[in-house]
Amino acid sequence: MNRLTTIFLSLVMAVAVVGYFVGLGDGVPKPDGLYDSPLLDRELSATVASEVKLIPAVSYAEIASTPMGPTKPWQGMPQALPGADYDLYTKIEPSEAEKEASSKLRASRRAFNGAPPIIPHPVENTTDAACYACHSNGVKMAGLKASVMSHQFLGNCVQCHAPMAPAPFQDVDASVDTSFVGLPAPKQGKRAYQGAPPTIPHSQWMRESCNACHGGPHGWAGMESTHPWRTNCTQCHAPSATLDQMPEADIVPMLPPLDVVAK
């Protein structure tokens, strides 16, 4: 009897619970898109990251509540012991192929050489601090790379760097029919002779930190300096006056030649 009562009561409870939830889901659509953000969804962000090799940036306020630990693909990988810290003196042999691949990727994010790169990952309405969290020193992890800022800290990152479309509008066709052809990245600097240090083939403005691309642990493959321990780049590599908007001079001004009288 006791047992029957227990079964009966559990049935009643089960029905009540089921009924409660059925009652909740009365078939009327709830505005449940409100709180959804692909950026805040742990599972989704893991998928996004593994699929497209991107890590979503969230706003600074949301960092605390956002899973920032190892992503699923990372966890799925055979783990090795951490390697040694970045070694300045590892021999670096940049390859042309790597350089070309890096150039291509960089070019795909700029309208022309010198344009501020667009932001290639989703951002919500982030503050600068959220950008800075990854991009101040750069991050390299499992094939993902957050570039180092090549210029000093400036407020309002999205003033210059255009983000992806806001979350609700990412499937809107944003294609543009244009005949604009931007200046491509220069391939290399000029050398006065074989073995001479090459000149800097691009402007230095907003690219004050050479290591952002050319060295350190977070540079671009194929563009790294072979001598990252050297810190005063312009000691050997001459910049361009024209590209750096120095005062113009068509002819390099010189003193007149010596007035040597022929005998």
The CB-of-97 to another protein minimum distance in angstroms stands at: 20
Q: How far is CA 216 from the centre of its chain?
A: 16
Q: Which residue has the tokens 């449940």?
A: 32
Please give the structure tokens belonging to residue 244: 């750096």
The CB-of-76 to another protein minimum distance in angstroms stands at: 19
Q: Could you give the CA distance from residue 76 to residue 85 in angstroms, rounded to a whole number?
A: 23
The CB-of-229 to another protein minimum distance in angstroms stands at: 30
The CB-of-209 to another protein minimum distance in angstroms stands at: 16
The CB-of-151 to another protein minimum distance in angstroms stands at: 10
Residue with smaller CB distance to another protein, 88 or 129:
129
The CB-of-11 to another protein minimum distance in angstroms stands at: 23
Decide: residue 200, CB within 10 A, 0-12 exposed, 13-18 middle, 19+ buried: buried
Q: Could you give the CA distance from residue 230 to residue 245 in angstroms, rounded to a whole number?
A: 26
In eight-state DSSP terms, residue 214 is: H
Residue with smaller CB distance to another protein, 86 or 205:
205
Residue with smaller CB distance to another protein, 47 or 209:
47
Q: Could you give the CA distance from residue 226 to residue 230 in angstroms, rounded to a whole number?
A: 10
Q: Could you give the CA distance from residue 78 to residue 50 in angstroms, rounded to a whole number?
A: 15
Q: Could you give the CA distance from residue 107 to residue 117 in angstroms, rounded to a whole number?
A: 9
Q: Which residue has the tokens 């700029």?
A: 110
Residue with smaller CB distance to another protein, 125 or 137:
125
Q: State the amino acid at position 216 in one-letter form.
A: G
The CB-of-91 to another protein minimum distance in angstroms stands at: 31
Residue with smaller CB distance to another protein, 155 or 195:
155
Residue with smaller CB distance to another protein, 54 or 221:
54
CB 57 within 8 A of CB 123: yes
Please give the structure tokens belonging to residue 192: 């006065």
Residue with smaller CB distance to another protein, 72 or 109:
109
Q: Could you give the CA distance from residue 239 to residue 201 in angstroms, rounded to a whole number?
A: 7
